[in-house]
Amino acid sequence: MREGKLVFRALLIAGLVVAPLLLGGFAAKPLTSKPVEVTVTGIDYAFVGVPPQMRAGQAVLSFRNAGKVRHELVVARLAPGTTPEQIVEKLKKGALPRDVIIAGGLLFANAGESSPVRLSLRLERGEKYMIYCNFQDTLTAPRHWALGMYSGFSVK
Ligand SMILES: [Cu+2]
């Protein structure tokens, strides 16, 4: 019996020592592991509802098209020091946007509808991202980004 009490006491002490370590380990984990959900709305021809800053980590983007024509939402990570305006100027001159790094992909939405799928991507701290629509209404019409359908956000 005495031996049993010693084992119990040893386990109790071990628990008192180990438990705070485990709890401390859990407390050290980020409490913000839930993805940030953002709905971006496209109109003819701009994006609205794009937060200027987003939190680093997992994000899920939804795309709603409130316009009268079909739109897309392309997400691109920008090279350091590059702005969305610089990218658009390069595109207007016919240059390939080599400063743009495709980071997440794209969503499509017909006029007046929402994309049936969402885009999940990992946003990197300190990075800048651009969203734009590359569609054109006819073969000779300007791309939507040239009409102002682009925006950007940074990640903190
Ligand atoms: Cu568009």
Spatial separation of the C-alpha atoms in residues 131 and 31, rounded to whole Å:
28
pLDDT per residue as tens digits for the range 61-87: 999 999 999 999 999 999 888 899 998
Give, rounded to a whole angstrom, the gap between the first and last alpha carbons of the chain.
Answer: 60
Task: Determine the residue type at 21.
Answer: L
At residue 64, what are phi and psi to the nearest 5 degrees?
Answer: -115, 130
Mean per-residue pLDDT of the chain: 83
pTM attached to this predicted model: 0.75
Distance 1 CA to ligand 1 centre (A): 79
- Please give the CATH number for the structural domain made up of 31-155: 2.60.40.420
pLDDT per residue as tens digits for the range 20-68: 444 444 444 555 578 999 999 999 999 998 999 999 999 999 999 999 9
Structural domain boundaries of the chain? 31-155
Distance 140 CA to ligand 1 centre (A): 15
Distance 137 CA to ligand 1 centre (A): 8
